[in-house]
Amino acid sequence: MPFPNRYAFFKGRIVPIKEAQVSIMTHSLHYGTGCFAGLRAYWNKEEEQLFIFRIKDHFCRFINSTRLLYMNIPYTVEQLIGFTLDLLRHEGFRQDAYIRPLAFKSSPVIGVRLHDLEEEVVIFSIPFGRYVQNEEGARATFSSWRRVDDNVIPPRGKITGSYANSALIKTDAYLKGFDEAIVLNQNGHVSEGSAENIFIVRDGVAYTPPVYDNILEGINRRTHIQLLRDELGVETVERPLDRTEVLLADEVFFCGTGVQIAVVIEVDHYSIGAGRMGPVTGQLRQLFFDIVRGKSPKYRHWCTPVYRLESG
């Protein structure tokens, strides 16, 4: 199958994707000693422009993830932004795309540790659409797997090894006939989806698990809290959520860079609200998709254009 992309940032420069190869002895392949970020770029057909959403925020979090793994990568946030723009200009995408920066322990050695190892940073991008196919009406289940704890593998860092937890959760839900899963933490409170933050709406108020309930400190999560408050007049309360609060919610949705905003209409065969997209989620989705494509002047500062404008 041909690569959907042509280039990668690898060993400090843009190279053909087929040249971006690593050894089978690479430390992170064996022990999950890497971390990543996920960004989206959105195509605006009217402007013929590709916009990357909240790129600086993503790379700031990426740098924080590297720190959790005792990495000292040789690039600043500004340099990583520059490499990403250069990469996308090489690709020339005229459609929505996903961007994957990855930092990993690259030494070809055996032995579980984080110290005294070489590190590498790579970035690639691919055309990308929906993460959850039924994003206007997903069916979810409570997973029998629990979310990793901050004292086990810190979930606020996007650490590659911890995503084995997400993979177990996602596949278990899929094999049972569901689109997604809702995960509880070790205290039995709602944490996240398999790889998404979660919100519920009850009686005109939005609720989402707090950062201390083993969640990723999501950039889209932060975005939606602001948009709910400032644009829709909906307060968001960050507090622990019980399982049955989800079942009795008027609306439930997942959010994240990959999933964007996915509406949950059913959980473990319980209908959520009216069993269809609710008014708060519907308004939020419309607002969000306008913003990420650069169509909202108020939030245009969140969108970084990839292509240089031709001077007249």
In the predicted model, is pLDDT for residue 299 greater than 50? yes
In a domain, 303, yes or no: no
Q: Of 127, 148, 163, which one is at a domain's C-terminal end?
A: 127
Please check whether residues 49 and 121 belong to one and the same domain: yes
CA distance 209 to 126: 31
Which residues belong to the active site?
Answer: 158
Nearest by Cα to 88 from 281, 310, 307: 307
The pLDDT of residue 1 is 56
In a domain, 70, yes or no: yes
Please check whether residues 242 and 107 belong to one and the same domain: no
pLDDT tens digits for 31-47?
Answer: 999 999 999 999 999 99
Give the CA radius of gyration of the chain: 20
Nearest by Cα to 121 from 12, 280, 273, 1: 12
pLDDT tens digits for 40-67?
Answer: 999 999 999 999 999 999 999 999 999 9
Please check whether residues 40 and 92 belong to one and the same domain: yes
CATH number at residue 142: 3.20.10.10
In the predicted model, is pLDDT for residue 3 greater than 90? no
The pLDDT of residue 310 is 58
Please check whether residues 178 and 287 belong to one and the same domain: yes
Q: DSSP alpha helices (H): ranges in the chain?
A: 27-31, 55-68, 77-91, 163-175, 219-230, 243-247, 279-292
Mean pLDDT in the chain? 95
The pLDDT of residue 124 is 98
Please check whether residues 66 and 35 belong to one and the same domain: yes
* For range 139-149, the mean pLDDT: 97
Please check whether residues 122 and 152 belong to one and the same domain: no
Q: DSSP alpha helices (H): ranges in 141-278?
A: 163-175, 219-230, 243-247
What the block records as the tokens of 58 is 């993503």
CATH number at residue 64: 3.30.470.10
Nearest by Cα to 27 from 97, 91, 83, 111: 111
In a domain, 244, yes or no: yes
Please check whether residues 96 and 179 belong to one and the same domain: no
Handedness of CA 222, 228, 234, 240 (dihedral sign): negative
Please check whether residues 287 and 144 belong to one and the same domain: yes
In a domain, 311, yes or no: no
Please check whether residues 18 and 66 belong to one and the same domain: yes
Q: What confidence tier does 180 reach under pLDDT thresholds 50, 70, 90?
A: very high
> What are the φ/ψ torsions at residue 80 (nearest 5 degrees)?
-65, -40
Q: What confidence tier does 133 reach under pLDDT thresholds 50, 70, 90?
A: confident
Residue 176 domain boundaries: 138-292
pLDDT tens digits for 221-245?
Answer: 999 999 999 999 999 999 999 999 9
> What are the φ/ψ torsions at residue 92 (nearest 5 degrees)?
70, 30
- Our CA angle for 41, 128, 80, nearest 5°, is 40
Q: Of 127, 147, 171, which one is at a domain's C-terminal end?
A: 127
Residue with tokens 């843009």: 14
Please check whether residues 144 and 275 belong to one and the same domain: yes
> What are the φ/ψ torsions at residue 46 (nearest 5 degrees)?
-65, -40
The pLDDT of residue 129 is 81
CA distance 161 to 60: 20
In the predicted model, is pLDDT for residue 312 greater than 90? no
What is the domain count for the chain? Answer: 2
Please check whether residues 219 and 282 belong to one and the same domain: yes
Please check whether residues 43 and 109 belong to one and the same domain: yes
